[in-house]
A = this chain, B = another copy of it.
Amino acid sequence: MGRLDGITVTATDQLSVVFAALADPTRRAILDRLAEGPATVSEIAEPFAMTLPAVSKHLKVLERAGLISRGRQAQWRPCRLEAEPLRPAAGWMSHYQVFWGQRRKLTP
């Protein structure tokens, strides 16, 4: 994502990573689940019609975005929500608050 000086640069910017992580219904559902408390990978995977490795990949995306953290208890890897990265994302959006609610007044 993004191109500078002819060299493609893989988006390292945090906002892009966070929004990209949120751009998938499965991952949002995982965050919703974790909002109710920590859970193991199998517990997280249970409601979804996909294999465990697929869920594992989603968790990796969320982890790289800083939206979850993982501990270790025996062979279980409990995941917990880390909402802090949502703050700058919501902050970016908040600048647009003035535009939603009513139609813009402008002279085209």
From A23, A49, A73, name the one whose CB has the most chain B CB atoms within 10 angstroms. A23
Residues of B within 8 A of A4 (CB): 49
In the docked arrangement, what's the CA distance between A92 and B78, Å? 24
Number of copies: 2
Residues of B within 8 A of A15 (CB): 22, 25, 28
User: Is the beta-carbon distance between A86 and B96 smaller than 8 angstroms?
Assistant: yes
User: Is the beta-carbon distance between A108 and B35 smaller than 8 angstroms?
Assistant: no
- Count contacts on A: residues with CB < 8 A to the other chain: 50
CB A82 to nearest CB in B, in angstroms, measures 8
CB of A1 closer than 8 Å to a CB of B: yes
CB of A53 closer than 8 Å to a CB of B: no
Q: Considering the complex, which residues of chain A in the window 50-92 have a beta carbon less than 8 Å from any beta carbon of chain B?
A: 50, 71, 73, 78, 80-81, 83-84, 86-87, 89-92
From A15, A22, A50, name the one whose CB has the most chain B CB atoms within 10 angstroms. A22
* Contact partner, A16, options B3, B23, B104, Cβ 8 Å: B23
Residues of B within 8 A of A22 (CB): 15, 19, 23, 92
